[in-house]
Structure 1
Amino acid sequence: MSESGESDIEWIFYKDRPEWRDVIPVPENDGPNPVVVIAHSEKFEDVYDYFRAVLQNNEKSERVLQLTKDAVELNAANYTVWQYRREILKALGTDLRPELDYVESVIKQTPKNYQVWHHRRVLVEWLRDPSQELELTCDALLQDPKNYHAWQHRQWAIKTFGLYDKEMQFVENLLKEDVRNNSAWNQRYFIVNNHLGWSDLNVQREICFAMEKIKFVKNNESAWNYLRGVLLHDKRGISGNAVVTSFCEELYKNKCRSPHLLSFIIDICDEAIKKGESSSFHGPDRAIELCQALCTKYDKIRCKYWNYISEKFKKVKREQEEQKKQDEADEK
């Protein structure tokens, strides 16, 4: 929102409007020793002086509704203005359809403004009509596929009103455009988690989907994280799913050294050890070797972290060796 523009050419200050003569404006009061004095324009001071006045008087009228629109134009993130606007709409019994159009225009100007998205949600709740929300959020995401507020609103509308039918296709189209779109991966998980469910069939389907995307871009952290998340719902775990372990080892065999792959294999080793199923292939030695590779070559920026993880596996290795010695001694 801006304090300048074509509208200012014909702007009449509230203090000069005959219909507002009955209102005494209330200037901003930051106390005798304000820490930071913000230099507002004359127009800004005029609008908000009158807004503070009607707020104190608790006036809810058509003229105040227009005043809140002017206040939003000057500061679209002002929570009090939006809250009071909602109170006025309810008190006047205003037709909310034009308000939806108005809010949409504000969203297009300030698409990352939490207050306007919240106002939109309240209107939709009052109307019990989510028919425009998927299209609205789609338009916002076309401008910025990672707009958190648009995604949050979309998820709320979908979950509240059961709008799941075409959402998987929407997400797949986004991933075709950008396979690294972490927000789209998150939305896919949201759909399965809240609608389709984690049946074994769905789990295996999502595993295959993630692996296909990883084949396409092997260093895609979003796809690897999604695969991890899906495997939380696989009763066999990350180390017990032969399809996944074979997939990882095949990538490694073919010289893939993505830090996400190496980290994933380390997780396989860790789980196998905890389940008492470690082997020379998925045991502490392999994990230590991969931690060293990450530290020295493939993920140097997190070298200290991988050294820390390596020490944990070294401790496990020592414990296994001591246990082996103890078992041999017991046999004698």
Structure 2
Amino acid sequence: MYDSDSDIGWTFYKDRPEWKDITPVPEDDGPNPVVVIAHSEKFEDVYDYFRAVLQKNEKSERVLQLTKDAVELNPANYTVWQYRRDILKALGTDLRSELDYVESVIKHSPKNYQVWHHRRVLVEWLQDPSQELELTGDALLQDPKNYHAWQHRQWAMKTFGLYGKEMEFVENLIKEDVRNNSAWNQRYFVVNNHFGWSDMNVQKEICYAMEKIKFVKNNESAWNYLRGVMLHDKRGISGNAVVTSFCEELYNNKCRSPYLLAFIIDICDDAIKKGESSSFHGADRAIELCHALATKYDKIRSKYWNYIGEKFKKLKKEQEDQQNNTETEEN
């Protein structure tokens, strides 16, 4: 809960003279409720009055305050937030003060979807995203993997073009934690939506990912980023000599990260599909690596690697049969 649920110093709505005209509406769980939630007297008081004004469709300053009390008791209540927005519109309330209010709620409830959604609507109404990068940045300093903060940040950036200093922000997060998958995802988001995948940018991002992999070789986030960037390389994952050489150098230096082995398997697969397979990057190599992953380096996913290995074995047999048929026809 956003605020303490203590009744100390609290004046119940039923005891407030200005609310005497409202008959509270208690919660109706039906005649045979399966699970009755034990609410405090304060909670029941606030929400009994909220249901009452909702039925009356009253939009006033006192109801606006009531929604604030309701939010403090349950900041995830969609109906309360939606009705609060209806009241703000009806009263023509200063939305700048509402921004300040919702920021305070976010600080107490940073992983609450409804709060972030309310913030987004306010920014849309105002067409002013000037505080959003700072707000989400503060939230991400507290929790670099806060999905709602990232989602709001990406929305603000994409809607209002706020890409200017984002790469610097992302690089600082990756420096602090090279395994921060959210930061890697944001880096991809910025390149994909702002800089674009020119060949120069592709090679730049490849080099960036490889440098981070050298630092921590068993880093799934960096390997996934490299794989994603390679999708934009017109030469394909097997056609970039810098990348293939990088992988083989790691392998020859005894690196057996499952992410490296899986990446080499992808190189083999791509080479086979393009008809460019070799003893170095072909079915035999892929089968060998699948066996190594299944039996030693990634045993938790052994069934998966055995399945992939069988696919390469079938592919190898098809290639051998095709070659035999060709030789027979020639003879």
Q: Is there any run of 5+ residues in structure 2 with no aligned partner, and where? A: none
User: What value does the CA root-mean-square deviation take over the aligned residues?
Assistant: 1.0
Give yes or no for the alignment of 1:328 onto 2:327. yes
Partner of 1:119: 118
* Cα offsets for 1:86-130 (capped at 9, x unmatched): 000010000011111110110000100000000000011111111
Residue identity (%)? 86
C-alpha displacement of 1:331: 2.0
Paired residue type of 1:205? K
> 2: CA distance between counterparts of 1:181 and 1:137?
16
What SS does the aligned partner of 1:263 have?
Answer: helix
2:51 aligned with 1:57: no
2:280 is matched with: 281
- 2:309 is aligned with what amino acid? S
| Residue pair 2:2, 2:75 contacting (<8 A) in 1 also | no
Equivalent AA in structure 1 for residue 293 of structure 2: L
1:238-317 equivalences in 2 (<5 Å) = 238-317=237-316
Alignment partners' CA distance in 2, 1:64 and 1:316: 69
Aligned partner letter, 1:271 = D
SS at match of 1:174: helix
Q: State the one-letter code of the partner of 2:17.
A: P
Instruction: Say whether the 8 Å CA contact 2:5–2:42 is kept in structure 1.
Output: no
The Cα of 1:53 is off from its aligned counterpart by 0.3
Q: CA deviation at 1:324?
A: 1.7
**Partner residue, 1:163:** 162
Contact 1:231/1:237 (8 A) holds in 2: yes
Say whether the 8 Å CA contact 2:179–2:222 is kept in structure 1.
Answer: yes
Distance 1:317 1:305 in 2: 19
2:4 is matched with 4
Count of residues paired in the alignment = 331
Where 1:27 maps in the other structure, the secondary structure is coil
Distance 1:5 1:23, change over 3 A: closer
When residues 117 and 2 of structure 1 are mapped into structure 2, their CA distance, relative to the original with a 3 A threshold, is closer
Equivalent residue of 2:203, what SS?
helix
Partner SS for 1:237: coil
| In structure 2, distance between residues paired with 1:280 and 1:110 | 56
The whole-number CA distance in structure 2 between the counterparts of 1:20 and 1:3 is 23
Contact 1:3 1:44 in 2 (8 A): no
Q: 2:5·2:40 contact (CA, 8 Å) conserved in 1?
A: no
Query: How many angstroms apart in 1 are the aligned matches of 2:210 and 2:124?
Result: 39
Taking the TM superposition and a 5 Å limit, the aligned residue runs for 1:121-140 are 121-140=120-139
- Mapping 1:16-165, distance limit 5 Å: 16-165=15-164
Tell me how far 1:33 sits from its aligned partner.
Answer: 1.2
Instruction: Compute the TM-score of the two structures, normalised by the length of structure 2.
Output: 0.98
Give me the whole-angstrom Cα distance separating, in 2, the residues matched to 1:328 and 1:196.
Answer: 51
After TM superposition, give the deviation of residue 5 of structure 1 in Å.
Answer: 6.0
1:256-298 superposed Cα distances (whole Å, 9 cap, x missing partner) = 0000000000001011111111110011100000001001110
Quick check: 1:3–1:43 contact (8 Å CA) kept in 2?
no
Distance 2:2 2:228 in 1: 43
Summarize deviations over 1:5-36 as a string: whole Å, max 9, x none.
Answer: 67x43210000000000001001001111121
* Partner Cα distance (1:180, 1:191) in 2: 18
Q: Unaligned stretches of 5+ in structure 1?
A: none
What is the Cα deviation at residue 310 of structure 1? 0.5
Give the drift of 1:3: 6.3
The alpha carbon displacement at 1:4 in A equals 3.4
8 Å CA contact retained: 2:210, 2:226: yes
In structure 1, C-alpha distance between the alignment counterparts of 2:50 and 2:318, rounded to whole Å: 71
Q: Alpha-carbon deviations, 1:54-81, whole Å to 9, x = none?
A: 0000000000000000000100000000
Work out the CA distance in 1 between the residues paired with 2:320 and 2:95. Answer: 73
Does the CA contact (< 8 Å) of 1:146 and 1:181 recur in 2?
yes
